[in-house]
Amino acid sequence: MKEEVYNRFKDYSGSHCWQYEVRQDWFRADLERLNMSSSLIASFKPRDFRVEYVDKSDKEGCEAVKQFIEKMILHRIDFTNNHFPNQFVKIVTK
């Protein structure tokens, strides 16, 4: 595990932390994928979003939630040794 982490970061030479670099890369990719500008994204307000329950029978919806969680949260966690930051992530990853 330690060697894997070392290999992931050994060639990184950015002026900020690696996680921030990943965040910026994903943000740029998301802007392209969604065909949106960063100024449009910055103008969003909480009322512009809809949060809803996704039933486990909605396989497509569950897969979208899973992909979102994996992309936005799980890349920072070591799952190889069950190092979970909280029960929510442990439950979601089952």
Residue 73: closest CA among 18, 19, 3: 19
> How confident is the model over 64-91, as a mean pLDDT?
60
Q: Model confidence over 23-76: pLDDT tens digits? A: 788 888 888 988 989 899 889 898 888 888 999 999 999 998 888 877 766 555
Between 1-10, 29-38, 39-48, 84-93, the lowest mean confidence (pLDDT) is in 84-93
- In the prediction, which pLDDT does 75 show? 53
Asked if residue 81 lies in contact with residue 1, where contact means CB atoms within 8 angstroms, the answer is yes
Q: Which class for 31: exposed (0-12), middle (13-18), buried (19 or more C-beta within 10 A)?
A: middle
Asked if residue 76 lies in contact with residue 19, where contact means CB atoms within 8 angstroms, the answer is yes
- In the prediction, which pLDDT does 14 show? 81
More confident residue, 92 or 52: 52
